[in-house]
Amino acid sequence: MKKKKDHIIRNKTKLLFLLFGVNTESSPTPTMADKEPQQPEELPIVLVHRLPSFKIPSGPSFRDQLRSQFHMLDPHESPEPYGSFLARHAPFIRVLMTIGPSPISAEFLERLPVLELIVATSAGLDHIDLPACWSRGIVVTNASLAFAEDVADCAVGLLIDVLRRISAADRFVRGRMWPVKENYPLGFKLGGKRVGIVGLGTIGSEVAKRLSAFGCTIAYTSRNKKQSVPFPFYASVRDLAANSDVLVLCCALTKETYHLVNKDVMVALGKEGVIINVGRGSLVNENELVQCLVGGEIGGAGLDVYENEPNVPKELFGLDNVVLSPHSAPGTPESFKAVLQLTVGNLKAFFSNKPLVSVVSNE
């Protein structure tokens, strides 16, 4: 278990390195840019919440922009023990910024009595105990806005790939099979497909906008029917599946949505149905998904997320009707630049009493 976590952390650290050009695994060489502002105590305080192996990426973009405007309090940069550092500063900490999937539990929140805002740098917030935040009146912002376009693009790309067999056909050509077999098996048309979107939030709406242009019809399920949306609403994911050719999963992972898509839903989707998951692995019962794919109960799947990342069920590796990507839907430099802007935007708005940019609704 520990080993797996280490892998994930190493992956993320590497990603930050790629994005910001700084190797966060070793101590950065001090430079002019790393110097604290002259009187940081006059700047608004922001607690940095991260696992010890995660650091705020330095370099001209991320670190400097934050440090020039905020007093970034980072317990892991202090020689003082974590507990006493936190206890000493807690009376002044109104804002917390999370980097990566650092867990925030109800017990942790107890230690921050005046906390008002959590600024998260991810789209999904399954690492944060949201009900605990809301019961304490703490507002949470996320980064869906920054990632929405890239994640929606990836969802559409995975769907076209599955239906038109792009990755499998690329394998066929590279495997030098074309001159041997001549006719490659036919794929399926995207136009006219009934697409059911599970979770019509920021990302789901971007998916709907894109797929409408391909002549797909859109329907959705979510916690509540949205008055401003023209698409048909289904109260249950099973009913949505029964009336769809494709399910696109882009809702948040919560207690209620854990294993939302199970065998029953997949059978309702049908033998030619396709599942696209760009949300979280645990939205789907992965064992049942594998069974349904291997047994032909559903037609195909495009998966960016898995229950036990970076472990992917081996049974999927031999299938031509699935496309697999390594949780890379939000992984573009453009997305991460947007996350920085959004983070700074939320922090500035909070300290100047302006409306926050990306508040997570507790409805």
Partner 1 sequence: MESIGVLMACPMNSYLEQQLENRFKLFRFWTVPDKSSFLASHKDSIQAVVGNAFAGADAKLIEALPKLEIVASFSVGLDKIDLAKCKEKGIRVTNTPDVLTEDVADLAIGLMLAVLRKLCESDRFVRSGKWKSGQYVLTTKFTGKRVGIIGLGRIGMAIAKRAEAFSCPISYYSRSEKPEIKYKYYPSVVELAANCDILVVACALTTETHHIINREVIDALGPKGVLINIGRGPHVDEPELVSALVEHRLGGAGLDVFEHEPEVPEELFALDNVVLLPHVGSGTVETRQAMADLVIGNLEAHFLEKPLLTPVV
Residues carrying an active site annotation:
280, 309, 327
Between CA 63 and CA 56 the distance in angstroms is 6
Phi, psi of 284 (to 5 degrees): -115, 140
In this complex, which beta carbon is closest to partner 1, that of residue 160 or of residue 267?
Answer: 160
**Site membership for partner 1, residue 10 (CB under 8 A):** yes
Cβ at position 86, least distance to partner 1 in Å: 30
Structure-block tokens of residue 267: 């059978």
In this complex, which beta carbon is closest to partner 1, that of residue 149 or of residue 288?
Answer: 149
Q: What is the pattern of x (binds partner 1, CB under 8 A) and - over residues 253-292?
A: ----------------------------------------
Q: Any residues with CB less than 8 A from the CB of 319 and at least 6 apart, and which? A: 293, 294
**Site membership for partner 1, residue 190 (CB under 8 A):** yes
Q: Any residues with CB less than 8 A from the CB of 82 and at least 6 apart, and which? A: 75, 76
Q: Any residues with CB less than 8 A from the CB of 7 and at least 6 apart, and which? A: 310
Q: Any residues with CB less than 8 A from the CB of 328 and at least 6 apart, and which? A: 154, 304
**Site membership for partner 1, residue 183 (CB under 8 A):** yes
In this complex, which beta carbon is closest to partner 1, that of residue 150 or of residue 350?
Answer: 150
Q: Any residues with CB less than 8 A from the CB of 285 and at least 6 apart, and which? A: 259, 261, 262, 263
Number of residues that bind partner 1 (CB under 8 A): 62
Cβ at position 194, least distance to partner 1 in Å: 14
Residue from 172, 231, 233, 351 that binds partner 1 (CB under 8 A)?
A: 172
**Site membership for partner 1, residue 214 (CB under 8 A):** yes
Sign of the alpha-carbon dihedral angle for 188, 190, 193, 196: positive
Residue from 312, 339, 342, 360 that binds partner 1 (CB under 8 A)?
A: 312
**DSSP 8-state symbol, 38:** S
Residue from 94, 127, 136, 164 that binds partner 1 (CB under 8 A)?
A: 164
Q: Which residue has the tokens 């000493």?
A: 88
Of 29-37, 72-80, 91-99, 319-327: span binding partner 1 (CB under 8 A): 319-327
**Site membership for partner 1, residue 167 (CB under 8 A):** yes
DSSP 274-330: EEEE-S-GGGB-HHHHHHHHHTTSSSEEEES--TBTTB--GGGGG-TTEEE--S-TT
Structure-block tokens of residue 84: 């006493």
**Site membership for partner 1, residue 194 (CB under 8 A):** no
Residue from 144, 335, 343, 358 that binds partner 1 (CB under 8 A)?
A: 335
**Site membership for partner 1, residue 1 (CB under 8 A):** no
Cβ at position 165, least distance to partner 1 in Å: 8
Contact residues: partner 1, CB under 8 A: 7, 10-11, 14-15, 18-19, 149-150, 152-154, 156-158, 160-161, 163-167, 169-174, 176, 178-179, 182-184, 186-192, 209-210, 212-215, 309-312, 317, 323-326, 328, 331-335
